[in-house]
Amino acid sequence: MKYFAIFLLVINFCNIIAIDQTKDVEGANCSVTETIGNYTFNFTELSSDFGYHIDGNAEDMGKYSFNLCKPLSRKCNNQTAAACLKNVDGKEIIIGYDSTSKLFWNDGQIRFSFIGEKCNKLENYTLNVILQCDYAETKNDFLGVFHDDSECEVTILMRTPKACLEIPENVKNAKMYVTSPNGKILNFNALKSSNHIINGPNDGTFIIGFPITYEHGILCEAGSSICYVDKNETDLSKKYTNMGTMTSNIEFENDRPVIKFTSKEKCNNNTLGSSKIVFECDRFKKEGTPKFKGVKDCVSNFVWETSLACYDEKPCVVSGENGDQYDFSSLANVQYEVKIPNKTDETIYFSICSNSKECGEGNWGSCIVKNTGGNKQTTKVGIFNAKLQVEKKNVFLKYDEGSQCGDPKDKKKYSTRIEFNVADSPNDEEIVLIEDKCEIVIHFKTLLANQHVKNCVVKNLDDEEIDLRPLIDYNGNYLARVNETTLPNETSKNNVSYLLNVCRPINSFYSLNCHGNTGACRTIMKDEKHEEEISLGHFEYFMSTEKGKIEGTNNVIMKYFHGSKCPTDKEEEITTKVKFYCDENAGLGSPILQSIEHCEYSFEFPTSILCNDKRVNLKSNESCILTNGDSSVNLKSYGNFNTSNRNISLCDALVKTYTISYKQSMVIIEYVDKDYVDIEVQLKCNLKNNTFVDVSNEGIIIMNESPLICPLLHIVPKATPSQNEVDNDNNDVLEMSLNNDIIIPKSSKFPLGYLFLISILIAAFGIFYIVIRNPERRDIIRNMIKFRSRSNVRYTRNMNDDDLILN
């Protein structure tokens, strides 16, 4: 959806550039009146005492500050200005004087225009701030900064509800959700995110929205939801016809959700027409697309196939706002238990979408059992239900109406909140318990919650992939440093902590109650426990690239959205911005909080994995020592590498150069031995010790994984999902937490799918053994394998003198 939104943004910007400015209608006093319905847009409320600030899209663009309807409160280059560019070198340029400010309306586009100081001999700097309608409950948002070829003209796209037509009160009250016959709530709010354009009769088009968003080339009546556009009509007042206004809620008709729209347009028989949309279930279409079916009895009929209309599902299943399906029914009817940390005699028992048998008779979904000297005391912590809920892309179950909690005068009862967090592998599935006064919070990590997990790879402007997966922390979290100069009150001296992960949620533990699947979190430390947690954004990231300061490198910008309510503006949600850039000495690196501006927390993340490969020449008297700055590694610590017919010692080899590959976290040594055999040795930083050998007619590739090379790369190695797949003892329970406070029954961790996988592996091994025991077949396999470059190498473990190659 986000890539589609970017595509629409580019198309929209192309339309902006191509607009006919001879049709501009100029406003006055920060207001402008459109020519179709004579509606007046007033933007005086967009004037801000702080101004607006936005970073450029490239490293060398600097930072833009501007204000609307009055000058900036602070000077720009010691002069009064409405818009200012601060370059990366600190130089300030006036790109808009307040005296030049003009407001225009043009075929639905609303534009503030400013003229600044001289850009070159022929032209001045100009700034266009284009306002786009956004009915969302937010003050403003920026879509980007664009330059013309000369970089003298700057365009900023700004979304705001002030650029929308005023919605009639009866349209505001219409709800986009409905309860199905089986009690499931169907939420159609995802359809409000954009206008939907489809073909109509007589070469015209229908625009459908809830309501339709006013924008360039879409001048439908305020509050309309279905609008017919006559492409052959040149008179704008006749070009757009309101075919339907949503004044009533969605209802069910013949077991299908239906919206009925009223219209002022008259039919052939002089009666008022109307429109109707019938939603039909299609599980394979998230939002889907409406289709026009024709007119019958003065009613324009549309059918809309979408997964949002599906409701005949089994319990413990829910659809997200974008139509994502979450099915946790396979977790139901299983008894889970968690030992309460620091309370050896207390255990939490709970079940998913079902009653917990350990909690006794009744519909109890969870309980605390205290076992003291053989005497059991059970506290009920919530009545179970199978109604999954989705809040800001976080899926959870809420069990309420538990036993009395605390003083009876307070009338508080225990409750349980089970949040479903993403997991990267079967062995990454775990349960983390958090006690929050009268609420028991359970973070349940499962592969079933992985709808929003992406691969942490982004492409730069040259269509090259940049891989940030090495930065993912699968076991812990990054504890960010804070710029004490810019944020003196946000440091550890004030007991403030900032936790962050890359492309994944932060990892939960007993005293950390950030909402499930948050990518960054602010906490206050009290008695060595995290409290007052604030989510800085859901981990589903948006990622982009820009050119780095070092030639040939790229910076990566990652953003997390949908955090907690902003403390300084309750109408906004907190967002997090992380800027990754090359630093050879940083190793994998760690984040630094640099600023907090307008509900956005901005981090910098220096890391070596964005740096270019470095070729290093060995000194003749140090043929066995590799150096990188102040770090060094002695190759003698690696010993010898054995193949079928040679013993390779790197210290005895005539090595003259080696390559440091920061992107691959490895050092690459290439040389030709005395027998003129090409040998490539790859020393990769890893927690585990492994050696792989690939022998072919073209040469030998040796890959050694170990922590020995890590200091040379300034890296503290992290565990990966594959390294978390460790063998476990055949006990009745499976310990799943680094703090040993999490227990899941073995039965819930060994599904039938594992048995199926094991059967396949056994069969594959049997077939493979039959093939390789024949020497002729083995030679064929060996001859098929060629010497490969390091960018696309498949490795095999060094087995024995038979040189068995297991690719």
pLDDT of residue 150: 67
Which ranges of 555-596 does DSSP label H, i.e. alpha helix?
Answer: none
Higher pLDDT, 7 or 64: 64
Residue 452 corresponds to which amino acid?
H
Average pLDDT for 595-620: 89
Higher pLDDT, 654 or 570: 570
Strands 600-607 and 592-597 turn out to be antiparallel
Higher pLDDT, 362 or 656: 362
HSE, side-chain direction, 13 A CA sphere, residue 753: 5
Give the pLDDT band (50/70/90) at residue 167. confident
pLDDT of residue 581: 96
> pLDDT, tens digit, for every residue of 27-83?
999 999 998 888 999 999 888 888 888 877 655 567 889 999 999 988 999 999 999
Average pLDDT for 394-412: 89
DSSP state of 518: B
Q: At residue 586, what are phi and psi to the nearest 5 degrees?
A: -85, -15
3-state secondary structure of 99: helix
Chain centroid to Cα 511, Å, comes to 25
> What pTM value is reported for the model?
0.59
141/9 Cα distance (integer angstroms): 14
Give the pLDDT band (50/70/90) at residue 18. low
Containing H/E element for 722?
helix 721-724
Contacts of 317 (CB under 8 A, 6+ apart): 325, 326, 327, 328, 329, 388
Give the pLDDT band (50/70/90) at residue 184. confident
Whole-Å CA distances, 542 to 465, 492, 557, 561: 15, 29, 8, 8
Which ranges of 191-323 does DSSP label H, i.e. alpha helix?
Answer: 236-239
pLDDT of residue 595: 93
222/169 Cα distance (integer angstroms): 11
Length of the chain: 807
188/256 Cα distance (integer angstroms): 13
Mean pLDDT is highest, among 146-150, 232-236, 554-558, for 554-558
Give the pLDDT band (50/70/90) at residue 19. low
Instruction: Pick the closest to residue 339 from 748, 729, 744, 731 (CA basis).
Output: 744
Average pLDDT for 195-213: 92
Give the pLDDT band (50/70/90) at residue 800. very low
CB of 228 closer than 8 Å to CB of 240: yes
Give the pLDDT band (50/70/90) at residue 257. very high
pLDDT of residue 761: 52
DSSP state of 363: S
Residues 747-751: contacts with CB within 8 Å, 24+ apart? 747/334, 748/331, 748/334, 748/336, 749/426, 749/429, 751/330
395/392 Cα distance (integer angstroms): 8
Two structure tokens written together for 592: 């630094």
CB of 139 closer than 8 Å to CB of 569: yes
Instruction: Pick the closest to residue 666 from 655, 642, 682, 654 (CA basis).
Output: 682
Helices (H) and strands (E) in the chain, counts: 6, 60
- E strands, 282-330, in order: 290-296, 299-306, 317-319, 325-327
pLDDT of residue 141: 65
- Give the CA angle between residues 458, 287, 10 to the nearest 5°: 45
Q: At residue 15, what are phi and psi to the nearest 5 degrees?
A: -65, -35
Two structure tokens written together for 93: 């340029």
pLDDT of residue 638: 86
Sheet (strand 614-617) strand order: 614-617, 657-661, 666-672, 678-685, 699-706, 690-696
503/515 Cα distance (integer angstroms): 16
> pLDDT, tens digit, for every residue of 744-781?
333 333 333 443 444 445 555 554 444 444 444 444 33
Beta bridge partners of residue 291, listed in sequence order: 303
pLDDT of residue 67: 93
3-state secondary structure of 15: helix
295/606 Cα distance (integer angstroms): 61
- E strands, 686-766, in order: 690-696, 699-706, 733-735, 743-745
- E strands, 213-324, in order: 224-229, 240-245, 251-253, 256-266, 272-281, 290-296, 299-306, 317-319
109/127 Cα distance (integer angstroms): 15
Average pLDDT for 440-457: 88
Is the pLDDT at 336 greater than 90? The verdict is: yes
Beta bridge partners of residue 84, listed in sequence order: 65, 94
Is the pLDDT at 797 greater than 80? The verdict is: no
Is the pLDDT at 801 greater than 70? The verdict is: no
pLDDT of residue 161: 87
Two structure tokens written together for 25: 């209608």
> pLDDT, tens digit, for every residue of 423-436?
888 888 889 888 77
Containing H/E element for 490?
none
Instruction: For the chain, give the percent of residues with pLDDT over 70.
Output: 82
283/292 Cα distance (integer angstroms): 21
Chain centroid to Cα 346, Å, comes to 37
- Give the CA angle between residues 341, 346, 350 to the nearest 5°: 95
CB of 432 closer than 8 Å to CB of 508: yes
pLDDT of residue 353: 92
Higher pLDDT, 732 or 658: 658
25/20 Cα distance (integer angstroms): 11
CB of 573 closer than 8 Å to CB of 483: no
Higher pLDDT, 520 or 572: 520
Strands 366-372 and 346-350 turn out to be antiparallel
Q: At residue 518, what are phi and psi to the nearest 5 degrees?
A: -80, 140
Give the pLDDT band (50/70/90) at residue 480. very high
Two structure tokens written together for 763: 């069969």
pLDDT of residue 140: 58
774/635 Cα distance (integer angstroms): 39
pLDDT of residue 192: 85
pLDDT of residue 722: 53
Give exposure, 687-704, as e/b (b: 16+ Cβ within 10 Å). eeeeebbbbbeebbbbbb
State the sign of the Cα–Cα–Cα–Cα dihedral 608, 612, 613, 615. negative
